[in-house]
Amino acid sequence: DQQVKQNSPSLSVQEGRISILNCDYTNSMFDYFLWYKKYPAEGPTFLISISSIKDKNEDGRFTVFLNKSAKHLSLHIVPSQPGDSAVYFCAASDSTSYGKLTFGQGTILTVHP
Amino acid sequence: DGGITQSPKYLFRKEGQNVTLSCEQNLNHDAMYWYRQDPGQGLRLIYYSQIVNDFQKGDIAEGYSVSREKKESFPLTVTSAQKNPTAFYLCASNQGRTEAFFGQGTRLTVV
């Protein structure tokens, strides 16, 4: 039972263009969402989060959008840079699970120079 | 420097052997977690602990055991009952409903 799904295993983008990574969830109790970036053989690093009371959160080149009715969130990276090439995971939690996070399968982003 | 330290970075296990992965944090976080990463499957939760001397099974706890005797430490033992232990193991911690911080991971290989 995959409660958080990233249906695109990979995404290839040209440097300077926008990268859009998508994530869907099925558990309507989820109310806090996060994006992580991961390089091979390293631990994930936190990028940006959004609470369900908002529909957008921005931090520099990174913007997360949340569509609660569609149970969908997306991460926009503008402009994309070669150093953004990594695996991106979305994660979610609900108020009953303290800080426990449920992760998606990840999307491999490749930014070409 | 606050953070999470996992050791060793690489670990080799023989068939039928138990091995223990170390995880230490100095962030003063109450909660700690163990995840397993396999290709194409994302991060799956093995065990988690919200306070000292208490822990709960995650989604894939079979063949694993943990202890939480100190706030700073949450070691994971991969037992011989775990039939497919080769994976990348990640430890994390957080405080309440905040982002989790991860260690650098341990790559376990069965030889």
Q: Can you give the pLDDT at residue B87?
A: 95
Q: Does A105 touch chain B (CB under 8 A)?
A: yes
Q: Can you say how many angstroms the Cα of residue B36 is from the centroid of all Cα atoms in its chain?
A: 8
Amino acid in the structure at residue B70? K
Testing the interface with B: which of A36, A51, A89, A101 to mutate, by most B Cβ within 10 A?
A: A101
Angle (nearest 5°) at CA B60 between A39 and A75: 40
Distance from CA of A14 to the nearest CA of B (A): 24
pLDDT at A1: 73
The amino acid that residue A51 corresponds to is S
pLDDT tens for each residue of chain B, 111 residues long: 679 999 999 999 888 899 999 999 999 999 999 999 998 788 999 999 999 999 999 999 999 999 999 999 999 999 988 989 999 999 999 998 889 999 999 999 988
Res B1: pLDDT: 65
> Which residues in chain A have Cβ-Cβ distances shorter than 8 Å to B96?
98-99
Q: Are A33 and A92 in contact (CB under 8 A)?
A: yes
- Yes or no: say if B65 and B74 are a contact pair by the CB < 8 Å rule: no
State how far the Cα of A88 lies from the Cα of A77, in Å rounded to an integer.
11
H helix or E strand, kind and range, residue B105: none
**DSSP type of residue A3:** S
Cα separation of A43 and B35, whole Å?
A: 11
Which residues face B84 on adjacent strands? none
Kindly report the backbone phi and psi dihedral angles of residue A75, in degrees, each rounded to the nearest multiple of 5, phi listed first. -115, 125
8 Å CB contact between B53 and B67: no
Nearest to A43 among B95, B97, B102 (CB): B102
Chain-centroid distance, C-alpha B59? 13
**Which regions of chain A are under pLDDT 70?**
none
- Determine whether the interchain pair B40/A105 forms a contact, defined as Cβ–Cβ distance below 8 Å: yes
Q: For residues B3 and A45, what is the distance between their CA atoms, to the nearest angstrom? A: 12
Query: Which sign does the torsion angle of CA A67, A68, A74, A78 carry?
Result: positive
Instruction: Mutation target for A interface from B4, B35, B43: give the one with most A CBs within 10 A.
Output: B43
Instruction: Provide the pLDDT for residue B97.
Output: 83
Q: Does A43 touch chain B (CB under 8 A)?
A: yes
Write out chain B residues lying below 8 Å of A32, CB-based. Answer: 97
SS3 state of residue A27? coil
Give A8's strand partners.
Answer: none
List chain B residues with CB under 8 Å of A46: 99-101
Residue A41 to residue B105, Cβ atoms within 8 A: yes
